[in-house]
Amino acid sequence: MDTSLARLGRGTSPQQDTFADNLLVGLAKAPKEIACKYFYDETGSRLFDDICALPEYYQTRTETMLLTRHAREIAALMGEQVEILEYGAGSLRKVRILLDALEAPRAYTPVDISGDYLAQVVRDLAADYPALGLRPVIGDFTETLDIPALPDHPRRAGFFPGSTIGNFRPDAALALLRRMRAGLNGGGLLIGVDLVKDPARLHAAYNDAAGVTALFNKNLLVRANRELGMDFDPAAFAHYAPYNAGAQRVEMYLVSLKRQRVRLRGREFEFAQGEPVHTEDSHKYTIESFREMACRAGFNPRAVWTDEDRLFSVHWLESR
Ligand code: AVJ
């Protein structure tokens, strides 16, 4: 199987140009912001894997448990000879649970923004599943959803685990679900969604004692320094991640600890002491509020699985 990486969407334009564009626009805004997709360079992807193993970060282990516990039922719902499309594939660990349970999966198409990281993890997966059709796509799934069908047009199933949907404002999340539905050619979507819960528990998950989430957040600055020759001092910014109960989301910021300036492409950006840079939102849903959104996106919500403590949910949505 040819597992060379296809690049869809932005064609050949290098990633750092888009990161630079995002910084030029985002740091000129009031309030300042950097898009969360830029967390995931190779270092950031690895830091995110470390977050997933933290004692406070219940999401990954709860979702993995749910996928494992219900793998046979999920496989039966997806059917035989299915092509799995995964959006924002990351470490490719969770899909193994599905691949092991599925009846003769036809192909696996992981889409991820971090090309170097994707190349490595795909190599490992190919070694473990030699018979699987593997079609890695370097791309931004917020832009690249029109993935060409395989010659024999197998039935598709979308896989969007990890509550990545939480990174989008509800209106953008709805639009993304609609576009995913359009790209699935009538197939269903298996999606993981983090649930509203005790704010203290949410707060702890984004403010871990070991400080890994802070490093993950500050990696944006480290990345800008390395890729774009900027002169951020990561120690002069604080990681700040409060839960906004009214908006049902964790908000993440880098707060400037002093008055400082940085330069990019001849432009100068000033940070006041105490000024925040917004870096991420992580929206939480109830099972009911998420199913309602899925309906509005053109899906029929079918099965939903959750754990005893209702920390996390996994939904099987059918196209309608
Ligand atoms: C990958 C978007 C689901 O929001 O929990 C983890 C990213 N940010 N810790 C999340 C993240 C800080 C994560 N998602």
For ligand 1, mutation pick of 113, 196, 282, 285 (most atoms within 8 Å of CB): 282
Greater confidence (311 vs 7) lies with 311
Task: Say how many Å lie between the CA of residue 163 and the centre of ligand 1.
Answer: 8
All residues at 6 or more sequence positions from 35 whose CB lies less than 8 Å from its CB, including other chains: 22, 26
Task: Say how many Å lie between the CA of residue 296 and the centre of ligand 1.
Answer: 25
Q: Residue 183: which of 319, 8, 4, 294 has the closest Cα?
A: 319
8-state DSSP, 165: G
Q: What is the pLDDT of residue 2?
A: 54
Residues contacting ligand 1 via CB (< 6 Å): 51, 59, 162-164, 166-167, 206, 213, 280, 282
Lookup: tokens for 127? 């070694």
Q: Give, using CA atoms, the residue closest to atom 1 of ligand 1.
A: 164
Number of C-alpha atoms within 13 angstroms, CB side, residue 145?
Answer: 19
Q: What percent of the chain shows pLDDT beyond 70? A: 95
The structure's pTM equals 0.93
DSSP per residue over 210-231, as a string?
T-HHHHHHHHHHHHHHHHH---
Q: Residue 56: which of 218, 207, 236 has the closest Cα?
A: 207
Task: Say how many Å lie between the CA of residue 76 and the centre of ligand 1.
Answer: 29
Task: Say how many Å lie between the CA of residue 39 and the centre of ligand 1.
Answer: 10
Per-residue pLDDT reduced to its tens digit, 146-202: 788 898 899 999 999 999 999 999 999 999 999 999 999 999 999 999 999 999 999
Q: Residue 13 pLDDT more than 60?
A: no
8-state DSSP, 52: H
Lookup: tokens for 256? 């400037």
Greater confidence (120 vs 30) lies with 30
**3-class secondary-structure state, position 137:** strand
Q: What is the pLDDT of residue 11?
A: 43
Per-residue pLDDT reduced to its tens digit, 99-157: 999 988 999 999 988 888 888 889 999 999 988 999 999 888 888 677 888 988 999 99
Task: Say how many Å lie between the CA of residue 164 and the centre of ligand 1.
Answer: 7
Per-residue pLDDT reduced to its tens digit, 91-115: 789 999 999 999 889 999 999 888 8
Q: What is the pLDDT of residue 268?
A: 97
